[in-house]
Structure 1
């Protein structure tokens, strides 16, 4: 359960380099795509203010990642950090490259530094909590997400993450409560409603699962995952 959960969450983590934009999962709905687009556009703007030296290293890092040379990319991340030690985006990038190099403890610390430098960036919390969850530190991941929820109490994606953590750890009633908050906040997301439907399905509540899959299709009529779940529900 936890491994599948973390795999699904990792697709939402962002790189510091927009040109590297990670492949988007087919499970992402329009709401998630728009949120990611907003962050990528904001990131592009922040990068435009970097020094020339940092921009040049940024290009080298991009090339290294395209070539899947993650050790080299991490070396460049450390160079970037030396040039601009108080840059939250660079800390975030370093954390992602540490993760690519199986340095999960260091990655958690780097994401924490990114949060300290820019506590308003939603995705830094998502990144840190994802790594913690991947290492079976669910309680610590929940604490990170609760910080995010406190800062952005009306952001549905943050509550969806909380619900997913609770769901993955078998706290089903608490997960349903978190999903209820997520569904009643913004952005409205077919993906989140479908996630709750999946939990209802696992609990054997097919009627409620069916209602959620149909509700998801009201939010986004062409959301494939909800369509597929609805068809498969009674097979």
Structure 2
């Protein structure tokens, strides 16, 4: 910690760094655990699982004065991995929140990017100080960075709570993040997704609108706004948002699944199946696509095809509870 830094921010950075190191170790455990359970997960999915499964048991901060006047801050944490969270996550795949899972990596990248930019600012300030030149403007810039850092870290913490189903607590942190940095579209996107989980769809749509007003036209924002529209029964607006998302990225399987689900709700089974087929062509093991297509086949009485799709899901993920349930329904219809 240098003399121009806020102590609380320096401590937060130290804790964040310690958690990053712990997450790396937890990631190795989670990867090994999923292999043992015979479930294939991507590297990004491992990161998502770690964020929800890793729990900090204890933490402490050590401070030491350095000869140059700086203060060295070291954070020590003890964490454990909650395997029950992994089990729950592996047993179900919620298409309504998959884009938020995808966004998790953006949170981490934003934190890393901010840390690098701040480190560069510190180096520039140190150089100016060594030359006895003014550093006021750069110190003001660091203050702005501190606000951004606190906001994105609160967003990260909020996301982890949301992942565990603690929506009320997650929303409190998301509100704090918005107050700290009301110009970050991504924070509105995260808060909007939490509001979707809280079934407060109008607030969610408002957050997504704000994200699109102040930020780039991101695929994930359109997808999640589409989900909110879908939940309030405005299927045409939902489909429209999914189509915009596909225009941004036509190779994202989840969007086809979301649009397929909306078509299915409208009773347009043919177009729904077509979207599920597209999703599977992009991602051959996409769980939601097979379940959606299986459900569509059930609706039109093609039970053998439906059962085949559920079987495919269970081959790839033996813990997929929804596939067992829907296959049971199909078997029951077939017996009748």
TM-score normalised by length of structure 2? 0.52
189-198 or 56-65: bigger deviation: 56-65
**1:210, distance to aligned residue in structure 2 (A):** 2.5
The gaps in structure 1 that reach 5 residues or longer are 1-17
- Kindly tell me: are residues 145 and 38 of structure 1, through their superposed partners in 2, closer, same or farther at Cα, counting changes over 3 Å? closer
Partner residue of 1:80? 177
Deviates most, 202-211 or 90-99: 90-99
CA distance in 1, matches of 2:236, 2:52: 34
Question: Partner of 1:184 in structure 2?
Answer: 281
For each residue in 1:204-228, what CA deviation from the matched residue of structure 2 results, as whole angstroms up to 9, or x when unmatched?
111221232334355x153534455
Post-superposition Cα deviations, 1:63-92, rounded to whole Å, max 9, x if no partner, equal 997896849945x64553344232112111
Deviation readout 1:31-88 (Å, 9 max, x if unpaired): 99997655323312214428333444554974997896849945x6455334423211
Distance change (3 Å), C-alpha of 1:38 and 1:96: closer
Higher RCO, Cα 8 Å, sep 6+: 1
The structure with more strand, counted as a fraction of residues:
2
Matched, 1:26 2:120: no
Aligned-residue RMSD, C-alpha: 4.0
Cα distance change, pair 231–138 in 1 and its aligned pair in 2 (3 A): closer
1:13 match: none
Quick check: 1:156–1:188 contact (8 Å CA) kept in 2? no
- DSSP-derived class of the 1:111 partner: helix
Aligned match for 2:230, one of 127, 133, 146: 133
State the Cα deviation string for residues 114-142 of structure 1 (Å, max 9, x = none). 2341323x332222111111111111111
Distance in 2 of aligned mates of 1:25 and 1:204? 29
Structure 1 residues 191 and 67 mapped into 2: Cα distance closer, same or farther (>3 Å)? closer
Correspondence for 1:161 among 230, 253, 258: 258
Conserved? CA contact 1:71–1:101, under 8 Å: no
Shift of 1:25: 7.1
Question: How many residues end up aligned between the 2 structures?
Answer: 215
Query: Could you tell me the TM-score, scaled by structure 1's length?
Result: 0.70
Contact 1:156–1:187 under 8 Å retained in 2:
no
Matched, 1:52 2:149: no
